[in-house]
Amino acid sequence: MERPIDSSSLRHRLYAALEGGVGAGFLGALIESVLVGLIILNVLAVALETEPSFSEHYGFLLDEFEVFSVAVFTVEYLARLWCAVEDPRVADMGKLAGRMSFAVRPLMLVDLLSFLPAYLVFLAPGIDLRMIRMLRLIRVLKITRYSPAVHTLAEVVMQERRALFGTLLLLLIAVTFSAAAMYLAESSVQPESFGSIPAAMWWAITTLTTVGYGDVVPVTAAGRLIGGVSMIVGLGLFALPVGIMATAFVSAIQRRDFVVTFGMLSRVPIFAEFDARVLGEVLALLRTRMAKAGDVIASAGEPADAMYFVISGEVEAELPERTVRFGPGDFFGERALIHKTRRSATMVAISQCRLLTLSAGDFAILLAKHPELSKRVHVVARIRLRELEDAREIAQAELDEADKRRDGL
């Protein structure tokens, strides 16, 4: 039986702020901004500490900043651990088991390692302080918690792990064969560099990666031929994982955009009863439009020739009587697809926006291709027209009532 969560509790609100980030409102955005800024400053501090002149003059400030950072990261870790029982995935395990399960997650382990080495200085005074200072660079991994792109990249690596493992295996085979061939060609001439296959592997790795430090080079004709072939093979083999990752990363982003856009399309009354095949054709007709903050997307009074879907950012509609905002997942201007009309509001981008547009012309072509859809569109058009007429009648009745009350006064 699931444990009911008291959404008004302090622990639940803190859990939402810590795990939700910007999406959890002002508190979540504030916590995320502070922690990301602190992580960046810590990486900068570690780098500056290695500069002798800076460390000599401002070392005491760096030490104080380190104490402050350790305190903040410790409090953050303990707060996340305290709120862990609010996570639905561990809510039924009990408080102790749930927190232990939460604590061994990769991101929580990174959080722990971001401050734990600092406490080792007090527990083991003889430990190498330089190593402890370098371990502070682990804190940069904390920023992956706040980067959707990194999460997408991790998912891509997991999805393509078999293909990536295959390319790694091919690289190991190429290194082994190149080292073995060079051992046979050069061992008698350069025994100090190619006296064994393991020794020749250093040359094979630098050659296959096309780095070529030049510290070890073949001098025989056979060795140079092997070196040339190894370079060509290396170019092809190292291009494989790059191509696999790039293709998979783009596909993951497209899948995410497809799910978001498909969900938005299915909520539009015009498309509510369209099957997946037709919606797929509609998706192919969508065009991307970018808008900067302050850009006018559509002006009141101009012909309405397209509808818009908001993928990111915010758009504000300036109506005569009120102002309406549209955020990610919202849409507007669907009347343009039903009948010729003019814009009743000016649409302005409030922030950097990414929009998808569907023009009335493209939609007309789709209707011509699927005549059976015209009936659905006309039904929706009549419903929308009736709703508008009802709204006008209600508004007129309210105005008449207001006039009567004013006349009575």
The pLDDT value recorded for residue 378 is 64
Tell whether the model's pLDDT for residue 273 goes beyond 60: yes
The pLDDT value recorded for residue 8 is 44
Rounded to whole angstroms, the Cα distance separating 121 from 132 reads 8
Cβ–Cβ under 8 Å, residues 156 and 138: no
**pLDDT tens-digit series, residues 56-94:** 888 888 888 888 988 999 999 998 888 888 777 776 777
Tell whether the model's pLDDT for residue 406 goes beyond 60: no
The pLDDT of 135-146, averaged and rounded, is 75
Q: Which residue has the higher pLDDT, 55 or 230?
A: 230
311 — pLDDT class (breaks 50, 70, 90): confident
Tell whether the model's pLDDT for residue 127 goes beyond 80: no
Average pLDDT of the chain to the nearest whole number: 78
- Give the pairing type, strands 315-318 and 346-349: antiparallel
Question: Which DSSP string corresponds to 266-323?
Answer: HHSGGGTT--HHHHHHHHHH-EEEEE-TT-EEE-TTSB--EEEEEEES-EEEE-SS-E
CATH C-level class of 10-146? mainly alpha
Rounded to whole angstroms, the Cα distance separating 43 from 134 reads 10
Q: 217: which DSSP letter? A: -
The pLDDT value recorded for residue 7 is 44
- Give the start-to-end residue ranges of the domains of the chain: 10-146, 161-253, 275-373
**pLDDT tens-digit series, residues 216-240:** 888 899 999 999 999 999 888 888 8
Percent of the chain with pLDDT over 70: 76
The pLDDT value recorded for residue 5 is 46
The pLDDT of 306-319, averaged and rounded, is 81
Fold that domain 275-373 belongs to in CATH: Jelly Rolls (2.60.120)
The pLDDT value recorded for residue 131 is 66
The pLDDT of 307-333, averaged and rounded, is 79
158 — pLDDT class (breaks 50, 70, 90): confident
Most confidently modeled range among 101-105, 198-202, 284-288, 344-348: 198-202
The pLDDT of 333-350, averaged and rounded, is 77
Rounded to whole angstroms, the Cα distance separating 160 from 237 reads 16
The pLDDT value recorded for residue 178 is 93
Q: Which CATH number fits domain 161-253: 1.10.1490.10, 3.40.50.720, 1.10.287.70, 3.10.20.600?
A: 1.10.287.70
Rounded to whole angstroms, the Cα distance separating 137 from 210 reads 29
**pLDDT tens-digit series, residues 163-191:** 888 888 999 999 999 999 999 999 888 88
Residue 98 belongs to what H/E stretch?
Answer: helix 95-103
The pLDDT value recorded for residue 118 is 81
Rounded to whole angstroms, the Cα distance separating 85 from 339 reads 53
